[in-house]
Amino acid sequence: MTFFASEIVNGLVLASFFALVAGGLALIFGVVGIVNFAHGDFVMIAGYFFYELYVHLQLPYLIAILLTVLGTAVFGGSIYWLALRHLVERAWYAQLLATLGLSILFENIAQQIWSPNALSVATPSTLQVAIHIGVGANVTVQDVYVFIGTAVCLICLWLIITKWRWGKAMRAVAQNREACVVSGINVKLVALLAFALSTALCGLAACLVLPMQDVFPTVGLSFTTQAFVVVILGGMGSVRGAVVAAVIVGLVEALAAGYISSGYTDAFGYAIMILILLVRPTGLFGDRVQRSGWSSL
Amino acid sequence: MLEIHGVSKSFAGVHALESIEFTVSEGQLVSMIGPNGSGKTTLFNCISGFLRPDAGKIVFQGKQIGARAPFEIAQLGLSRTFQSVRLFAKLSALENLLVSMQQHQDDSILGRFFHTPAIRRHEATATARALELLERVKLTAHQAKPAGELSYGQRKLLSIAAALMPHPKLVLLDEPTSAVNPVAILAIRDLLREIHAEGQTILLVEHNMEFVMELSERVVVLDAGRKIAEGSPRQVREDKRVMEAYLGS
Amino acid sequence: MTDHVHHGPPNHPPSRFRSLSEVLAPPAARSMLPLFVLVVAVLVPFGVKDAFTLGILTDSLIYVVLALSYDLSVGRVGALSLAHPAFFGTGAYAAAIIVQRYGLPLGLQVLIAISASIVLAVVIGIPAFRLSHLTFGMATLGFALIAELIAQNEIGLTNGPLCMAGLSPLSSGWLSSFGFDQNVQQYYIFLVIAVAVAVFFWVLVRSRIGRAYVAVREDEPMAMAAGINPTRYRMSAFVIGAGLAGLIGAFYAHYLSVVCPTKLDISYTVNLLVILFLGGTGGFWGIIAAAFVFTAIPEALQVAPNIRLIVYGAALLVGVTALPEGFEGATRTVRRRLARYARGNRA
């Protein structure tokens, strides 16, 4: 029971992380219209930002987080404006290849700057205190703070895309790009904002997860593939679907790692994705009308 | 040859087809007409396997085909063209015809690959047939041109030729004259008349009334997913419900 | 102009489909290029004596085979699989395991390696081809990562990260009777394999099957209306490509003499994608040229692996963004412009 409960807690922490990263990926796919294979690398880079600010410059914890989130958003926005902007409206495989190239570029530049070795960041000791909850699982303050951080962030995201003028524009663009162009919405700016917002989520995800996960240059790719598993499972472009799928994948991976084999953690995420896709080719919250074949009539 | 029994199909609650019923017998040239959105193309897609009807039976030569895949139906001898001409733009006119012959020769994997004498004979027969069809649609001079570089009318003719390539038992033509210039329409009309005279069974969807009335033995009229009339061109022309459907009452 | 839905990777110029006899005796002018390339390839060891350069050329030949086999799926039927290194690795591991456990001869190793890759491709392909495009790509990537995890974790079978060693380098008594050393012998062995695979590829894509591949890639509904079963053809391209990757994997295992889990790594996919997309998917000479350029040049310059990857990453990003049709497409455009310019001058 204790073991089960602590695996559930692990699963939920993992789910929070996936929700932030995959939610951003879904936003990029839905609003910007790009298959971003470099998404996980923004988390990796944010991890290094945070390391520099918090460990190197010894800034206060919360200030370091804030600056990391802002820095990642600005960095993401600039990369979008410089390079990825030109991929909008290109075929999906061209986007995948180009962003894969970007990912390799990031990974190896990071290796040049920070060496291939893993860096770990210790959070303030106050966060490492364990809280005892009824079922016997140990939950640290850090875990609680990951849940709260994620929840607050997802609520903010929801408020942004439902209440804020530009957020509403994002949803409109996701639904019908042409109509938005015609009706005078600045689609380019909306896409830029959505991209920066998504990378900000990556920045936050990196800060929240860092004490539990080391950062090293090649870590981004595994984040990317996991985020794609979650996004495809949730239905491409659906942020809500991504959040639900994140919980499923997080729990499945944690339980599988605990009870079956920790060597195959990633494999279980894929297995779930493939199984669900065979039943629902457009994912859990995918557009049902959308055709799923190799080419439509 | 083709029997349609009570075929229905709806999209998101909208009835695109409601209990359609008609048959096409061997050697006939039947036309399907109706205002835009009356369900003609939907019915075509059901017959050729691209859509699965919600209810009803489609029987082709005694075999139920309602649930079969498009390529299986094609292999049974039911060819079709598409309303907006579909061809393999990168393949030459000749190759476009040869592709249609692909599955209609009994051949082994080994044979397909190594061009055994049997396959070479088949390829020779197929090429001969393709050249004959190109001659008929007056595209012999363009046989090596990529299909994407032909004019619209030429592509339309080529797509009909491709449908005829495997000696189909029944050919479905989806608006062969739409967006085609008057000269090409005449060429298409002559071609259909010729092949029909040779015994080819044809089911046609058409907007061009003159064309339909001139060619068809029988006309089926659809409106809003229902069959509202069926008969000879003359009967249909004089049918009140058809006039109402077209003129909008 | 047309309303064809293009989902596959960039297309290639119209090709004529010819039988084996025609391929072996094409018009004189056309036959010069392959012959010339072949003669140069055969003569290389007489001029190049150092092991380093020969090694680079041998690596390039391996990449030629991998790239062509990968293109069957990516370029010919337009199914962007990310599982290719899994087939290559399966072939390599199959050979290594057979050598270590059963000591069977090379011929059997190769046969079993090919069969193992084909079986794996069928197992992956059956679920994956029910998906499409991006989901197909991600599912194949998932299988590729699972294959790598198996190589890492199933220590009883694969030795895990400690790798499998003990494979003997390739040699041929017949070649050594000419006084060629080990490196030259290996070079010739891989040259024979590469030429054989290239001829196989050439005949295949110009056969009736190759014609159906193009049909399936260009317009699936139209292909179905012509009686072609798209899944069967896609599957066949995927499986044949996997078999060829397994074949070269088995030989590669001997060439390196050790097989490690990193041989299944996604970085191989990256190298191959660079070669295919900058060489022109669905092409032939462009891919072969790119396999040499992108393998030999970085190795010859002895570029550090991560600098090489920085260049590759930038090449993919800029290449795909700026040259939608790849290298062959770009040269085609240049040729067309030159022709128009020449015509313009005459007029």
CB contact under 8 A, C309 and A101: no
DSSP letter at A56 equals I
Domain count across chain B? 1
Percent of chain A predicted with pLDDT > 90:
30
- According to the model, what pLDDT value does residue A292 have? 45
SS3 C50: coil
Q: Which residue of A has its CA nearest to C218?
A: A295
Residue A36 pLDDT level (bands cut at 50, 70, 90): very high
Is the pTM higher than 0.80? The answer reads: yes
Q: Which of A98, A263, A295 sits opposite C149 (nearest CB)?
A: A263
In this prediction, residues A265-276 reach a mean pLDDT of 84
Enclosing domain of residue B61: 2-247
Q: Which pair of tokens denotes residue A115?
A: 């060496």
Chain C contact set for A269 (CB, 8 A): 142
Q: Which of A87, A232, A261 sits opposite C135 (nearest CB)?
A: A232
Rounded Cα–Cα distance for residues B232 and B238 (Å): 10
Chain A contact set for C318 (CB, 8 A): 101
Residue B110 pLDDT level (bands cut at 50, 70, 90): low
- According to the model, what pLDDT value does residue C104 have? 87
Does residue A179 belong to the interface with chain C, where contact is any CB pair within 8 Å? Answer: no
- According to the model, what pLDDT value does residue A31 have? 87
SS3 A228: helix
CB contact under 8 A, A297 and C7: no
Is CATH 1.10.10 the classification given to domain C20-346? no
Query: Has residue A132 got a pLDDT over 60?
Result: yes
Chain C contact set for B89 (CB, 8 A): 2, 4, 218
Rounded Cα–Cα distance for residues A226 and A209 (Å): 15
What is the DSSP annotation of chain B?
Answer: -EEEEEEEEEETTEEEEEEEEEEE-TT-EEEEE-STTSSHHHHHHHHTTSS--SEEEEEETTEE-TTS-HHHHHHTTEEE--SS----TTSBHHHHHHHHHGGGS---HHHHHHT-HHHHHHHHHHHHHHHHHHHHTT-GGGTTSBGGGS-HHHHHHHHHHHHHTT--SEEEEE-TTTT--HHHHHHHHHHHHHHHHTT-EEEEE-S-HHHHHHH-SEEEEEETTEEEEEE-HHHHHH-HHHHHHHH--
Rounded Cα–Cα distance for residues C195 and C176 (Å): 20
Q: Which residue of C has its CA nearest to A263?
A: C153
Q: Which residue of C has its CA nearest to B87?
A: C222
In this prediction, residues B103-126 reach a mean pLDDT of 63
Rounded Cα–Cα distance for residues B91 and C250 (Å): 37
Q: Kindly report, residue by residue over B167-208, the tens digit of the pLDDT.
A: 899 999 998 888 888 888 888 999 999 999 999 999 999 888
Domains of chain A (ranges; CATH) run 2-279 (1.10.3470)
Rounded Cα–Cα distance for residues C252 and C256 (Å): 6
Q: Which residue of C has its CA nearest to B97?
A: C226
In this prediction, residues B124-137 reach a mean pLDDT of 89
The nearest CA of chain B is from the CA of C16 a distance in Å of 8
Walk across the sheet containing B63-64 and list its strands.
Answer: B14-24, B2-11, B55-60, B63-64
- According to the model, what pLDDT value does residue B197 have? 93
- Cβ distance C96 to C259 under 8 Å? yes
Interface probe, candidates C138, C217, C272, chain A, greatest A C-beta count within 10 A: C138
At residue C39, what is the residue type?
Answer: V
Residue B102 pLDDT level (bands cut at 50, 70, 90): low
Q: Which of C14, C208, C218 sits opposite B102 (nearest CB)?
A: C208
CB contact under 8 A, B45 and A297: yes
Q: Which residue of C has its CA nearest to B168?
A: C226
Percent of chain B predicted with pLDDT > 90:
29
The mean of the pLDDT values for chain B is 86
Q: Kindly report, residue by residue over A92-113, the tens digit of the pLDDT.
A: 888 888 998 899 899 999 999 9
- According to the model, what pLDDT value does residue C121 have? 96
B125-130, Cβ contacts within 8 angstroms, sequence gap of 24 or more: B126/B98, B126/B101, B126/B165, B127/B94, B127/B98, B129/B97, B129/B101, B129/B165, B130/B94, B130/B97, B130/B98, B130/B101, B130/B165
CB contact under 8 A, C229 and B103: yes
Chain A contact set for C230 (CB, 8 A): 294
Task: Measure the N-to-C terminal CA separation of chain B; round to a whole number of Å.
Answer: 36
Chain B contact set for A297 (CB, 8 A): 45, 50
- According to the model, what pLDDT value does residue A199 have? 95
Q: Which subunits count as partners of chain B given 3+ CB pairs below 8 Å?
A: A, C
- According to the model, what pLDDT value does residue B3 have? 92
- According to the model, what pLDDT value does residue C161 have? 84
A residues 198..227 contacting C (CB < 8 A):
221, 225
CB contact under 8 A, A112 and C7: no
| CATH number, domain with residue B20 | 3.40.50.300
A6 sits in which H/E element: helix A2-27
CB contact under 8 A, C227 and B119: no
- According to the model, what pLDDT value does residue B79 have? 92
- According to the model, what pLDDT value does residue C253 have? 92
Query: Has residue A190 got a pLDDT over 50?
Result: yes
ipTM (interface pTM): 0.86
Q: Which residue of B has its CA nearest to A296?
A: B50
Counting one residue from chain B and one from chain C, the pairs whose CB atoms sit within 8 A come to: 109
Rounded Cα–Cα distance for residues C172 and C169 (Å): 10
CB contact under 8 A, C152 and A228: no
Low-confidence ranges of chain C (pLDDT < 70): 1-31, 324-347
Query: Has residue B43 got a pLDDT over 80?
Result: yes
CB contact under 8 A, B50 and A297: yes
A 10 A CB-CB count for B12 gives 7
DSSP letter at A52 equals I
Strand partners, B97: none
- According to the model, what pLDDT value does residue C12 have? 40
The nearest CA of chain C is from the CA of B76 a distance in Å of 9
Query: Has residue B125 got a pLDDT over 50?
Result: yes
Q: Kindly report, residue by residue over C164-205, the tens digit of the pLDDT.
A: 887 888 877 777 777 788 888 889 999 999 999 999 999 898
Q: Which of B48, B74, B112 sits opposite C208 (nearest CB)?
A: B112
Residue A75 pLDDT level (bands cut at 50, 70, 90): very high
Chain A contact set for B12 (CB, 8 A): 289
Query: Has residue A7 got a pLDDT over 80?
Result: yes
- According to the model, what pLDDT value does residue C93 have? 94
Q: Which residue of B has its CA nearest to C17?
A: B95
